[in-house]
Amino acid sequence: MYLSRVEMTGFKSFADKTVIEFNEGMTAVVGPNGSGKSNLSEAIRWVLGEQSAKSLRGNRMEDVIFNGTQARKPVNIAKVTLVLNNEDRYLDYDFSEISITRSYNRNGDSQYLINNEQVRLRDIVDLLLDSGLGKNSFSIISQGQVEQIFLSKPEERRTIFEEAAGVQKYQYRKTEAERR
């Protein structure tokens, strides 16, 4: 399984539809300061379920929507789609290609889609739990996180191993079941 494409429309600095294709293996994203490298990684984390506006360098979720420049009017919707190549069926979903979409409107409407069908955020979280791709996983290591791992308490570090070992899914389901 690998990320094969990211499509962004109206997300942060990506006002127009922007499509970025990735191949298997390593990809480096380079560019001048302010060109949108961090915005791209935030777009990916956003679709994976990031709910904290602060961790996306904003104050409110609305701040992910392109808010205009001197030359351009703001837009009303941010929409990002990740396309995952799942030919190896690494994810427990019987499709070779899985698209996951999140959109957010200034009026507060959110939408989540898996292969163009409307789902809940929970379904996305469920699909990705223990895949190593979830928003709290270590597939995305941001600046400062390396030290955080070394400096964390043993109990906190245990969570890292649990995620890697694939037991978080069961804990999540247990908590959900207990709530009902």
Question: Which residues contribute to the site for ligand ATP (CB under 6 A)?
Answer: 12-13, 31, 33-39, 63, 65-67
Question: DSSP letter at 69?
Answer: B
Among 13, 38, 67, 85, binds Mg ion (CB under 5 A): 38
d(CA 52, CA 60): 8
Which residue number, 70 or 116, has a Cβ lying nearer to ligand ATP? Answer: 70
For residue 43, the tally of other CB atoms under 10 A from its CB is 28
Q: Which does 34 bind (CB under 5 to 8 A by kind): ligand ATP, Mg ion, none?
A: ligand ATP
Is 31 annotated to bind a ligand? Reply is: no
d(CA 78, CA 84): 20
Stretch of residues binding Mg ion (CB under 5 A), selected from 36-44, 73-81, 145-153, 172-180: 36-44
Tell which residue, 157, 161, 149, 43, has the closest CA to residue 102. 43
Helix (H, G, I), strand (E, B) or coil at 135: coil
- From residue 144, give the alpha-carbon distance in Å to each of 76, 139, 140, 149: 33, 15, 12, 9
Q: Which does 31 bind (CB under 5 to 8 A by kind): Mg ion, ligand ATP, none?
A: ligand ATP
Which residue number, 19 or 167, has a Cβ lying nearer to ligand ATP? Answer: 19
Which residue number, 35 or 96, has a Cβ lying nearer to ligand ATP? Answer: 35
Site size with Mg ion, rule: CB under 5 A: 2
d(CA 139, CA 103): 22
Q: How far is the CB of 96 from ligand ATP (least distance, A)?
A: 31
Q: How far is the CB of 41 from Mg ion (least distance, A)?
A: 8
Is 105 annotated to bind a ligand? Reply is: no
d(CA 82, CA 107): 23
d(CA 44, CA 140): 9
Is 108 annotated to bind a ligand? Reply is: no
105 makes contact with Mg ion (CB under 5 A):
no
| Residues at the interface with Mg ion (CB under 5 A) | 37-38
Q: Which residues are annotated as a binding site?
A: 32-39
Q: Which residues are annotated as a binding site for ATP?
A: 32-39
